[in-house]
Chains A and B, each alone.
Chain A
Amino acid sequence: MIWKTDISEGKSLCHLCGKLQERTQDECLRCGETLHQRKVHSLVQTWGYALAATLFLIPANIMPMMIVTAMGNNEGSTIMEGVIYFFSHGEYAIGGIIFIASVAVPIFKLAVVYFLLLIIQFKQFDKAQTGLKLFHIIHIIGKWSMLDIFVVALMVSLVQFQGLASIQTGGAAIAFCAAVVFTIISTNTFDPRLMFDINKRESI
């Protein structure tokens, strides 16, 4: 698969203003920003953030996401417990949403990021098209993982009936937030054009 890349054409895109120009420039002709062919340290950053996100996902799933104090009884539930809870109570919709948003999507995202990183690493250029599609998907839905946090935040702020029922965030919430944030950052730092760089890899 030979395709034309910006490198092969000798063009470079300013990451700031988007002007396509010769790659010989150091600075953009339009905005003056330093021209980078590819995102700076894209791979390593993406690896870093993806690992961070992965690491944070561990406590996010082990520690309780939400501590419900109902009638003096503290109950911490992790994400999965919450999902199971909703499912067991017949709330399939909510349960489904939380599962998708809090469990499936983050894992999916990370999986995709790893996949992308790995195909670059292993120069699996045939998978580049697929990877690109996947990248677009996770890029878009990335932020929606915060849905679960949003639910927790809403619950915490709404269910504050002292003594009767009150909800507090557990440790997992922070971890989960971090995880989601890092996945977003990681998708941001990832330069998908790297998947198409057959010949050389520019490491800037």
Chain B
Amino acid sequence: MSKKNQKSIPPSINQAASTLSFDTLKLFKASRKGGKKPVIDLFIENLTEINKVTLTSSETITGLLGLLGYVSAVEGYFRQIFREIILFDQYARKKCLSHDVSFGAALVVSQKAKAVDSLPEALLENVIFASKKNITEAIKHYLDIKGNLPDELETALKEFEKICQLRHCAVHRYGQFGSQNAIALGFDGHSKKIGFHICLELEDLENIATICLNLVKVVNNFLFNKLLERSAKDLELWKDDYVKDKKLFKKYCAIFKPTNKTIGVTKHYKTLYNQFRNRYA
């Protein structure tokens, strides 16, 4: 044993691995969703697609994958709505002027003028919209919306935070419940469950989907109202006449107004405009 044999190979405890060089370049295709749909519609499409898979299967793994999918859909919504707002709203854009973007993103924009629309996404590259704290801070930091959040949004975020903790277990521990998650969810009650695996029944998945959908609905209404509220302070912007204001008002609506019949409220632009005028004028 003391004498090393130069020709011998180290013991292999399992089968040898095969070689594969993965070409990531060919993975990316143009967005299947098309360009001009309202952000909330895209979220609904994503959510329903996940539902179709998760709500018809009783496998535990499908539940975990569904959980990741739902949170990912919410994150996607936030990124896109932030992008739209930063590009459209002068207050948000002004706030973002002093924020840094990566050199890579700046370089792409300098070479390709069209890429300027994706600059806000580069700005948000380090932001993770998978916790209540992050979302709250991002709203202030990038959209310049200050003050306490309304109770409805607080409630929706509080519930979403629970989902984010579960997602954390699913992403980092294959569904095993960790002590940090137990602390976040209430240690007294949850400490006994540390080390246990998440098991999501159909009803739980429906509840998770509902919480994610609720959050997006509440945020969508909240941001729409906040943007209009602060725009109303700009006396030059609005003419207090629907005919004259229609064009601008429709631009606000284009960002937030769902066309999807299951989530949309059948309100005409003029009805919405009158509500806006009555409330914020």
A binds B: no
- B residues near A (Cβ < 8 Å) are none
- A residues near B (Cβ < 8 Å) are none
